[in-house]
A and B are shown apart, each in its own frame.
Chain A
Amino acid sequence: AQKITQTQPGMFVQEKEAVTLDCTYDTSDPSYGLFWYKQPSSGEMIFLIYQGSYDQQNATEGRYSLNFQKARKSANLVISASQLGDSAMYFCALMDTGRRALTFGSGTRLQVQP
């Protein structure tokens, strides 16, 4: 069975600093994908970044990067140069070939302080 764990219910970061949001996962399927989504207070779900289980390099998308440690089953999101607009809930999610639906973690609420 799939499982996603986000152990940080809330995080604070100063504007312009970097922050790491933790995510660990569990799946027995060798083929899987890891996704991060942002949910601002408006409620929309915004796709940020994807990492495939066979990808050799860590994924990057602008200020977002994914620290993928396959042996530890962790896929932490790193946001560089935080901005006030980064304040939101962040969800880590997993999809494997056995279950073609995203399983979400419980989320981390990030607050960026000026």
Chain B
Amino acid sequence: GAGVSQSPSNKVTEKGKDVELRCDPISGHTALYWYRQRLGQGLEFLIYFQGNSAPDKSGLPSDRFSAERTGESVSTLTIQRTQQEDSAVYLCASSRGDYNSPLHFGNGTRLTVT
């Protein structure tokens, strides 16, 4: 596709429910990233995929968060038993995977936990 696509664009869920966020990267991009941005804050790294493997999961805040990537393409970020502090915009990005390759971001999923 032309750019990184994320769905849904908005998600409202009740505390304790599970949510699944989807990211479709730019075709041919081997690296895929998930970031979290709380209101008025900077970007917080969650996880990074090179191909289908995740060499860096250091940013996942708790074991309620997990992510997978299949076919070196689509990725899903799952949050189990959501808490109010999970409310944020979840941004996905993809790149060619080199340290000099810019990340191209999707428009994000705005998650609100009530």
Contacts and interface: CB of A to CB of B under 8 A. Distances in A.
Contacts of A102: 33, 43, 45, 93, 103
A91 B103 contact: no
Interface residues of B, number: 23
Interface in B17-38: 31, 33, 35
Interface residues of A, number: 24
9 contacts: A35-B102, A35-B103, A45-B105, A96-B99, A100-B50, A100-B56, A101-B45, A102-B33, A105-B42
Given A47-B104, A91-B43, A106-B42, 9 more contacts: A32-B99, A33-B99, A35-B102, A37-B105, A91-B42, A95-B99, A97-B99, A100-B56, A102-B43
Interface of B: 31, 33, 35, 41-43, 45, 48, 50, 55-56, 89, 91, 93, 97, 99-100, 102-105, 107-108
